[in-house]
Structures are given as structure tokens and as C-alpha cells.
């Protein structure tokens, strides 16, 4: 499957390269990854990450964005970063194929139109995947959860405007454990990550005091506390 090419006077083999997307989003209160079910061998009927081959005139990010737009009509990716490159010689039974994965995040209020073979799959219920795609998913979830501790990456998960309880639900789902809204608000405001919009939420069916509506101060990735670590709550024995 490899061709030879001359680089700097040396004949080096060249291999196919693909770009894959680990697109994460909170769906129905659960951190989920966008996947599609393969119809053809190899690994027919298994779930795979969206992506595809790198064209000769494309950079990796350009290739990935093209595949997402063409295959799942997904253009509203709030955040995208390179995640990992896998180069195991037998990761694809058809021959050696290099793969570079990207972490993408879609806000919980975005509803892309998905084709019938594509779905949001809860990361805690991941089925057997095609190739080594489960390793990319694990790396993407780990990267997101780490960045929630020391950056403002929550802006990519949450809607543009939200109540503190809505933000708590999104962050808790992404982390995989419940975060107390008061503690979350204290951390977010101390680091100046969020600010009130001046609006308030509508009272619920049971009435009660309307809550303040917030937004993230910045919608570009910032390191806010390089030494911070969000940990699950401790359970007393």
C-alpha cells in the first residue's frame, strides 16, 4: 500500500494518512461522542469516528473540517485541537494507514442534522469500535476532562447563555460526576471565567426566584489556572 517518493535525495516510502474527529458534546445529560456505523468491510456494522483520507493538497485540519461538513453536515464546532497520531503498522487490515485524531467540541444546544447511520454515543457505553477508534475516544475524553480543570473550555460545551444550574449540569456531565453549583460558581467567578448578562431566567412551574443568566467572558481557549485540578467529591465513610 506504500509508494516510494524522493525527499531530499532519499527514497522514502509514503503511506495513506487519515484525519479522524473525536467530537464530544453533552447530549441528554450525558457526555457523548459522534460516531457512524460502517456498512462495508473491514469492520462492517462497527461504530467508527467521522473522518477520512487526507487529500494531496490538504492540511490535516482542512481535511477533517471537509469530512465533517460533507459526511455529517457538522459545521458548528466550537473548539478543535489536534489530539494524537497513531502509526501502528497493523491498525488497518487493508494496509498501513497513519491516523491523526482531533478533539472537537459541540455545544449542548447545537442540533446538527445527522444522517441515519450516525448518532451520538454515550462515552460510558462505547460499543466495540472499528480499528483503534476507541483509543482516540479515550484520549479525547481524558483531554477534555483535564482541560476543564485548568482552562475555560466549558465555553465550548455550554450554550452562549445559561443559568448556573444549567452550567453545572453540563460540566457535571462532561466530568462524569456531580459538581455543586455553589462551588462551581465560586471557581468560575474567582477565575473571571463567566459574567452575568443582566437577564434572569423564567420561574419554573413551581415558582421561585428567577436565577441570573451568565455567559463566558471569553470564547477562545485560555489557561486560567495551570495547577488546578477538579476532583470528584469525597464520600465520608
Q: What is the overall mean pLDDT for the chain? A: 90
Assess contact for 136 and 48: CB atoms under 8 A: no
The CATH architecture to which 15-148 belongs is Alpha-Beta Complex (3.90)
pLDDT category of residue 136 using cuts at 50, 70 and 90 = very high
pLDDT category of residue 205 using cuts at 50, 70 and 90 = low
- So where are the chain's domains? 15-148, 153-216
pLDDT category of residue 137 using cuts at 50, 70 and 90 = very high
So what's the pLDDT on residue 237? 43
Q: Which tens digits make up the pLDDT trace of 214-235?
A: 999 999 999 998 766 666 766 5
Say if residue 68's pLDDT is above 60: yes
pLDDT category of residue 10 using cuts at 50, 70 and 90 = confident
So what's the pLDDT on residue 236? 47
Between 230 and 56, the higher pLDDT residue:
56
Assess contact for 54 and 18: CB atoms under 8 A: yes
- The C-alpha atoms of residue 25 and residue 172 are separated, in whole angstroms, by 12
Query: For 153-216, CATH number?
Result: 1.10.10.10
* Mean pLDDT calculated for residue range 159-171: 95
Q: Which tens digits make up the pLDDT trace of 92-132?
A: 999 999 999 999 999 999 999 899 999 999 999 999 999 99
- The C-alpha atoms of residue 20 and residue 64 are separated, in whole angstroms, by 7
pTM of the model: 0.90
Which phi-psi region, left, alpha or beta, contains residue 230 (left: φ > 0; alpha: ψ -120 to 50)? Answer: beta
Amino acid at each position: 500500500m506504500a509508494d516510494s517518493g524522493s525527499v531530499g535525495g532519499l527514497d522514502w516510502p509514503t503511506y495513506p494518512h487519515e484525519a479522524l474527529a473525536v467530537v464530544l458534546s453533552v447530549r441528554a445529560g450525558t457526555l457523548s461522542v459522534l460516531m457512524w456505523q460502517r456498512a462495508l468491510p473491514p469492520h462492517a456494522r462497527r461504530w467508527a469516528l467521522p473522518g477520512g483520507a487526507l487529500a494531496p493538497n490538504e492540511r490535516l485540519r482542512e481535511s477533517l473540517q471537509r469530512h465533517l461538513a460533507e459526511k455529517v453536515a457538522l459545521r458548528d464546532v466550537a473548539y478543535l485541537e489536534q489530539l494524537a497520531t497513531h502509526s501502528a503498522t497493523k491498525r488497518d487490515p487493508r494496509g498501513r494507514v497513519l491516523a491523526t485524531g482531533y478533539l472537537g467540541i459541540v455545544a449542548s444546544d447545537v442540533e446538527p442534522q445527522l444522517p441515519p447511520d450516525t448518532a451520538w454515543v454515550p462515552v460510558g457505553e462505547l460499543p466495540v469500535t472499528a480499528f483503534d477508534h476507541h483509543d482516540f475516544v479515550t484520549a479525547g475524553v481524558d483531554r477534555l476532562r483535564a482541560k476543564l480543570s485548568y482552562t475555560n473550555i466549558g465555553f465550548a460545551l455550554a450554550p452562549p447563555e445559561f443559568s448556573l444550574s444549567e452550567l453545572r449540569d453540563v460540566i457535571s456531565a462532561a466530568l462524569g460526576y456531580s459538581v455543586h453549583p455553589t462551588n462551581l460558581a465560586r471557581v468560575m467567578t474567582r477565575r473571571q471565567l463567566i459574567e452575568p448578562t443582566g437577564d434572569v431566567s423564567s420561574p419554573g412551574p413551581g415558582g421561585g426566584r428567577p436565577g441570573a443568566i451568565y455567559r463566558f467572558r471569553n470564547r477562545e481557549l485560555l489557561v486560567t489556572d495551570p495547577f488546578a485540578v477538579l476532583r470528584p467529591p469525597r464520600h465520608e465513610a
